[in-house]
Amino acid sequence: MSSSFVVACVGKPSAGKSSFLNAVTDATAKVGNFPFTTIKPNQGIAYYPVECPCRAHGVQQCRPRHGRCEGGRRWVPVQMLDVAGLVPGASEGRGLGNQFLDDLRAADVLVHVVDASGTTDENGKETRGYDPIDDIRWLRGEIEAWIHGNLERRWAGVVRRHAMTKAAPVDTLQAQLGGYGAGRAVVQRAVDAAVRRRGLPEALDAWDAAALRAFVAEFVDCRFPTVVALNKIDMPDADKNIAAIMRRYRRPPGSGSDGGAEGPARRDGIDERDIVLTSAVSECLLRKMARQRFIRYTPGSDDFATSADEPSDGNGSKEEDDGGPLKPLDEKTARRLGNLRDLVLFRYGSTGVQDVIVRAVETAGLVPVFPAKSFGRDCQFRDCLLVRPGTTVRELARRLHHRLDESYAGAETPAGIQLAEDDPIVAGCNNVLRIVTSG
C-alpha cells in the first residue's frame, strides 16, 4: 500500500524552497516509517496532525504502522517534493522548462514558496524592493501557459474528432488532460466551473480562443490547488509586502465558504485562506537547537524554552521529557534566538511551516481514513490514509490491499452501520470503518 498524496514545493530560485523542505521534513525519518517506497534526494516526509480515534475506542497502546501517535494526536506522513529549476519562461522551454513542469504531474497540491522580503528578483538574484505579488501571478501564469499551449496546438483536431465520436465533452477533455495527472472528477469540476462561473457554452465546438483560456484557468484551479508560503517574514521589508498581498487576495464579502463553482473566480487561483506566513530559516534553527539540546521546542508552537527558563536541579523539565537538562546557550546564540522569538514567534504565533502542511491537506479536501480490523478488544488503527474527496468505500478497500478487494463483503462503522460500496468517505461520518471480508 502506498500513499499517493504528494505536496510539491515550487517557486523561483532562492525563494526558500530547500529551507522550507528542511524545516518541515523529518530528516531523521527512518526507512520504513513512511508508506512511500523510495525517497529521492529532493523528497522528504512531513506530517499532518489529526485526532486519532484510538482514545475514543479505548486502545491501550496505539501502534501506527507509519508516522506516530502522541497523546491521541496522529501524525500522518505526507510526501514532499522539492521542485527546483523553475524560472520565468519555463513554459516556453527556458531553464529546465518542460522537465520542471513535468515534475508537477506527480503533485496533488502545490506549495508556492514566495520571498516576501522583496530582496530577490524574478530570477532569484539579490535586489531590493521587488514586489512578491509578481511571483504569485507569474507561477500561475506559467502553469496556465504550459497547459494552454499544449491544448491549443491540438485544439482544432480535438474538436473535429469530438464531433465525430459524439463523446461527452468531459471525456474528450479528459483524454487531453489526463497527462497532467487529472482524473475524470477533476476535469468534470473544471467543466462545471467554466460553464457556471464563466458562462462557457457546453458544446466544445462553440468554444472560441477566449473560452479555451477561461477553461484552462478553471482547470488549473481544480488540478493544482495551491498554498502560498509567504516566506522570510523575519526580514525587514516583509511587513509591508504582506499587507499588500493580503489586501489583494482578500475574499470578497459574501463569497461562499468553500469558493465553490458558483462564486466569483479567485484572483490568480488563490484567496487569503491559502496564504500562510512562514520563516523557514527560523524553523530550521529551532529544530537544530532542539536536536542539540540547547532548547526545548515543539515544531509548530509559539515559543521555546532554554536552560535559563528551567529550574537548575536538572529535572524541572515538563511533559514527555527525553534526555535530561538543557545545555546553556552562548551569548551570541541566545541573542539570535531572542530576536527570532520577537520577530517571528511573538508576532506571528509560529514559524508557520507546520501550518502550511495542514493547509495543503485541507485545501485539497483530503479525508483522513482509519480502517480497523475489528472494533473489539484488540482494536488497532494501524493505518491512516489521506484520501481524495469523493473516494468511495470500495475504492478505499481496493487501495488498502488487493486481498481486501478480492474478498470484499461489506463495510461498517463502529456503531454497526452498514456502508454501501459507493458511499463516499466523509470525515466525522464514516471515516472510521471496518472492511468485512468473506472467508
Q: Which residues of this chain interact with Mg ion, rule CB under 5 A?
A: 17-18, 84
If one asks whether residue 232 binds ligand GDP (CB under 6 A), the answer comes out as: yes
Show the cell assigned to 161: 474528432
Rounded distance between C-alpha atoms, residue 197 and residue 203, angstroms: 16
Query: Min. distance of Cβ 19 from ligand GDP in angstroms?
Result: 3
Rounded distance between C-alpha atoms, residue 435 and residue 439, angstroms: 13
- When the beta carbons of 114 and 419 are compared against ligand GDP, the nearer one is 114
Show the cell assigned to 119: 530582496
Show the cell assigned to 426: 466523509
- Say which entry of ligand GDP, Mg ion, none residue 280 contacts (CB below 5 to 8 A, set by partner kind): ligand GDP
Question: Would you tell me how many other CB atoms lie within 10 Å of the CB of residue 175?
Answer: 15
Q: Which of 226, 231, 354, 431 binds ligand GDP (CB under 6 A)?
A: 231
If one asks whether residue 43 binds ligand GDP (CB under 6 A), the answer comes out as: no
Cβ–Cβ under 8 Å, residues 111 and 227: yes
Cβ–Cβ under 8 Å, residues 11 and 87: no
Residue range at the interface with ligand GDP (CB under 6 A); choices 38-46, 90-98, 230-238, 330-338: 230-238
Query: Min. distance of Cβ 120 from ligand GDP in angstroms?
Result: 8
Cβ–Cβ under 8 Å, residues 172 and 158: yes
Show the cell assigned to 96: 529546465
Question: Over the range 30-59, which residues count as b (16 or more CB within 10 Å of their CB) and which as e?
Answer: eeeebbbeeeeebbbbbbbbbebbbeebeb
Query: Min. distance of Cβ 40 from Mg ion in angstroms?
Result: 14
Rounded distance between C-alpha atoms, residue 334 and residue 289, angstroms: 11
Instruction: With both helix axes pointing from N to C terminus, report the angle between 280-291 and 331-340 in degrees, rounded to the nearest 10.
Output: 140
If one asks whether residue 354 binds ligand GDP (CB under 6 A), the answer comes out as: no
Nearest to 94 by CA among 142, 147, 130: 142
Cβ–Cβ under 8 Å, residues 81 and 104: no
- When the beta carbons of 14 and 307 are compared against ligand GDP, the nearer one is 14
If one asks whether residue 235 binds ligand GDP (CB under 6 A), the answer comes out as: yes
Q: Which of 14, 172, 174, 354 binds ligand GDP (CB under 6 A)?
A: 14
Query: Min. distance of Cβ 267 from ligand GDP in angstroms?
Result: 24
- When the beta carbons of 4 and 18 are compared against Mg ion, the nearer one is 18
The residue count of the chain comes to 439
Q: Which of 6, 10, 19, 367 binds ligand GDP (CB under 6 A)?
A: 19
If one asks whether residue 355 binds ligand GDP (CB under 6 A), the answer comes out as: no
DSSP annotation of 344 reads: I
**At 218, is the secondary structure helix, strand, or coil?**
helix
Residue range at the interface with ligand GDP (CB under 6 A); choices 26-34, 227-235, 321-329, 375-383: 227-235
- When the beta carbons of 191 and 344 are compared against ligand GDP, the nearer one is 344
If one asks whether residue 286 binds ligand GDP (CB under 6 A), the answer comes out as: no
Q: Which of 279, 307, 354, 430 binds ligand GDP (CB under 6 A)?
A: 279
State the residue number with the nearest CB to Mg ion. Answer: 18
If one asks whether residue 112 binds ligand GDP (CB under 6 A), the answer comes out as: no
- When the beta carbons of 4 and 42 are compared against Mg ion, the nearer one is 42
If one asks whether residue 394 binds ligand GDP (CB under 6 A), the answer comes out as: no
Which residues, 6+ apart, have CB-to-CB distance to 172 below 8 Å? 158, 161, 162, 165, 204
If one asks whether residue 18 binds ligand GDP (CB under 6 A), the answer comes out as: yes
Torsion 335-338-340-342 (CA) sign: negative
- When the beta carbons of 124 and 389 are compared against Mg ion, the nearer one is 124
- When the beta carbons of 103 and 234 are compared against ligand GDP, the nearer one is 234
Q: List, as one string, the DSSP characters of 99-121.
A: HHHHHGGG-SEEEEEEETT--B-
- When the beta carbons of 187 and 340 are compared against ligand GDP, the nearer one is 340
- When the beta carbons of 15 and 397 are compared against ligand GDP, the nearer one is 15
> Quick one: three-class SS letters along 263-286?
CCCCHHHCCHHHEEECCHHHHHHH
Size of the site for ligand GDP (CB under 6 A): 15
Which residues, 6+ apart, have CB-to-CB distance to 369 below 8 Å? 384, 385, 386, 387, 391, 396, 425, 431, 432, 433
Query: Min. distance of Cβ 13 from ligand GDP in angstroms?
Result: 5
Task: Tell me, rounded to whole angstroms, the distance of Cα 95 from its chain centroid.
Answer: 25
Query: Min. distance of Cβ 141 from ligand GDP in angstroms?
Result: 19
- When the beta carbons of 42 and 255 are compared against ligand GDP, the nearer one is 42
- When the beta carbons of 18 and 437 are compared against Mg ion, the nearer one is 18
If one asks whether residue 230 binds ligand GDP (CB under 6 A), the answer comes out as: no
- Say which entry of ligand GDP, Mg ion, none residue 11 contacts (CB below 5 to 8 A, set by partner kind): ligand GDP
At 96, the amino acid letter reads: L
Give the interface with ligand GDP as residue ranges (CB under 6 A): 11, 13-19, 231-232, 234-235, 279-281
